[in-house]
């Protein structure tokens, strides 16, 4: 049997710590304290693994928050992983959607440094005298790759008399633990000739653990709150193998408090700002060192300075203060409305957006990006899903022809595409393996033409290439414009 590594243990009982979605490097709310929080949480998990003498730690993806962690992020990460290495506890990982790079991954660098082991279709093994635990992993598969992924590469060879436990690390939203997702645990039980005892998941930030067809399916959840909607305590899993059973227990991580203060505005409020302040005062103790959201609701009648409220909350010791104004504009009296001073950036943005005449898709994206309930880490995925639905519901060919700016747009588009083609020419040549004769981007001559004669000559890229050399995803767009 081909295998990656074999680790042996003297212990009759083996314990594995399962974590995921650490999102290291996240500077949530543009706040350096929050960046440190994400590292502290991960460090806490690793310290627990060392103190409780875990045999290994398994990380199910989204180790980093982006594919471009800073050097500072890398130094802090190496420092934590080194503690684990010094305690002789191996760290197994797969690649999540967040840190995923084109080919070689961050995890490969840590593997090269002896700090991590990347899981794959060949088992990494931990064994004692009585049993073997085989670890497999699949990096995050985006929708197009999911359809073509070959699950049959996994091996099932049994070349031992010992009892075998099989574990799979996966970074996906998975049915039936999350009902209705496109990928189901049942989709790979047939093509993979291995009966898994547990599928150790990442991607979903909320803790989940169920039994399904003789296997555990479990998400430990993220180690820090990646959005205000992640209310439950953060956690990780401990798997205990005693040679007969596998049990999974949840352990909570103590993280920074998130507090939501709701303040409802009434018709008769004579001094609304003072009412909000006294509401905030009633949370006094809890506010210190917390991430605090003040949600305004009720009637939008009076002039309220959002920044004044945020300042007030910060002066009470909050490390982050955010105010959400959900007051109902429609219920307000018309003269009051005309007096509103827009201190809330969201309001200003909404007004400016109207002037921009964005397309429906543009507004859709803006809505997703600015929705406080959508974790920053989910924006890519949410956008792809929503845009896909939107695109599927449209017939653009008709719409384009009907458009009054058809001709001038057409010209601009041709110029734009030409430009793009020129810029990317070098890229194509260096990144794509092409037959010698096709390396220059020139219109195809007749002998190279085959069944694709339906593609017009004016589009040499498509014709020449057959497959796109690089797929630009929404994720690339967002990451390219990510905050500094
Ligand atoms: Mn994640």
Q: What is the pLDDT of residue 387?
A: 84
Catalytic positions are: 98
Q: Which residue has the higher pLDDT, 271 or 240?
A: 240
221-255 residue pLDDT tens: 999 999 999 999 999 999 999 999 999 999 999 99
Contact 39, 54 (CB under 8 A): no
The domain 6-253 is placed in CATH, from the list 3.30.365.10, 3.60.21.10, 3.40.605.10, 1.10.150.120, at 3.60.21.10
304-331 residue pLDDT tens: 889 999 999 999 999 999 999 888 876 5
Distance CA(467)–CA(432), nearest Å, equals: 10
- Residue located via tokens 């003297």: 10
Task: Report CA(22)–ligand 1 centroid distance (Å).
Answer: 7
Task: Report CA(242)–ligand 1 centroid distance (Å).
Answer: 31
Task: Report CA(230)–ligand 1 centroid distance (Å).
Answer: 12
Task: Report CA(97)–ligand 1 centroid distance (Å).
Answer: 8
58, 238, 384 from 251: Cα distances, Å:
15, 7, 33
Task: Report CA(42)–ligand 1 centroid distance (Å).
Answer: 14
Domain-wise residue ranges, the chain:
6-253, 258-357, 359-394, 406-480
Q: What percent of the chain has pLDDT over 70?
A: 77
Task: List, as one string, the DSSP characters of 102-151.
Answer: SSS-HHHHHHHTTS-EE--SSPEEEE-SSEEEEEEEE----HHHHHH--G
Give the closest residue to 59 by CA, choosing from 90, 88, 87, 35.
90
Distance CA(222)–CA(207), nearest Å, equals: 8
Distance CA(108)–CA(115), nearest Å, equals: 10
Q: What is the pLDDT of residue 381?
A: 80
* Burial call 85-118: b when 16+ CB within 10 Å, e when fewer: beeebbbbbbbbbbbbeeeebbbeebbeeebbbb
Q: What percent of the chain has pLDDT over 90?
A: 56
């Amino acid at each position: 049997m081909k295998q990656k590594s074999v680790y042996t243990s003297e212990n009759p009982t083996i314990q594995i710590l399962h974590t995921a979605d650490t999102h290291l490097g996240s500077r949530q709310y543009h706040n350096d304290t929050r960046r440190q929080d994400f590292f502290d949480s991960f460090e806490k998990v690793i310290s627990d693994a060392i103190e409780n003498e875990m045999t290994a730690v398994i990380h199910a993806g989204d180790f980093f928050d982006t594919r471009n962690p800073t050097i500072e992020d890398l130094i802090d990460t190496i420092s934590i992983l080194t503690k684990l290495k010094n305690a002789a506890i191996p760290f197994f990982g797969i690649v999540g959607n967040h840190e995923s790079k084109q080919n070689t991954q961050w995890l490969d660098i840590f593997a090269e440094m002896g700090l991590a082991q990347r899981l794959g279709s060949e088992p990494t093994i931990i064994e004692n005298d009585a049993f073997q635990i085989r670890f497999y992993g699949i990096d995050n598969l985006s929708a197009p790759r999911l359809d073509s992924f070959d699950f049959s590469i996994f091996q099932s060879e049994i070349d031992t008399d010992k009892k075998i436990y099989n574990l799979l690390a996966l970074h996906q939203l998975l049915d039936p633990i999350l009902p209705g997702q496109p990928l189901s645990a049942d989709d790979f039980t047939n093509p993979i000739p291995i009966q898994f005892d547990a599928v150790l998941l990442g991607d979903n930030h909320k803790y989940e653990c169920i039994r399904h067809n003789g296997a555990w399916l479990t998400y430990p959840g993220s180690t820090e709150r990646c959005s205000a909607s992640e209310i439950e305590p953060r956690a990780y899993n401990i798997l205990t193998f005693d040679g007969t059973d596998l049990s999974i227990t949840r352990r909570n991580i103590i993280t920074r408090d998130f507090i939501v203060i709701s303040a409802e505005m009434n018709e008769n409020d004579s001094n609304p700002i003072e009412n909000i302040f006294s509401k905030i005062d009633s949370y006094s103790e809890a506010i210190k060192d917390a991430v605090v959201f003040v949600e305004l609701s009720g009637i939008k009648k009076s002039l309220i300075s959002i920044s004044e409220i945020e300042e007030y909350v910060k002066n009470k010791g909050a490390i982050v203060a955010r105010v959400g104004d959900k007051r109902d504009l429609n219920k307000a009296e018309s003269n009051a409305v005309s007096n509103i001073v827009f201190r809330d950036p969201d309001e200003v943005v909404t007004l400016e957006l109207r002037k921009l005449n964005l397309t429906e898709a543009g507004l859709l994206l803006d809505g997703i990006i600015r929705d406080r309930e959508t974790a920053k880490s989910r924006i890519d995925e949410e956008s792809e899903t929503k845009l896909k639905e939107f695109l599927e519901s449209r017939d653009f060919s008709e719409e384009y022809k009907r458009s009054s700016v058809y001709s001038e747009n057409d010209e601009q588009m041709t110029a734009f595409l030409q430009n793009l083609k020129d810029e990317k020419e070098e890229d194509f040549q260096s990144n794509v393996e092409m037959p010698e004769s096709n390396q220059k981007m020139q219109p195809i001559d007749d002998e190279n033409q085959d069944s694709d004669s339906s593609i017009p000559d004016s589009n040499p890229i498509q014709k020449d290439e057959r497959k796109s050399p690089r797929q630009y995803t929404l994720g690339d767009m967002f990451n390219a414009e990510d905050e500094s």
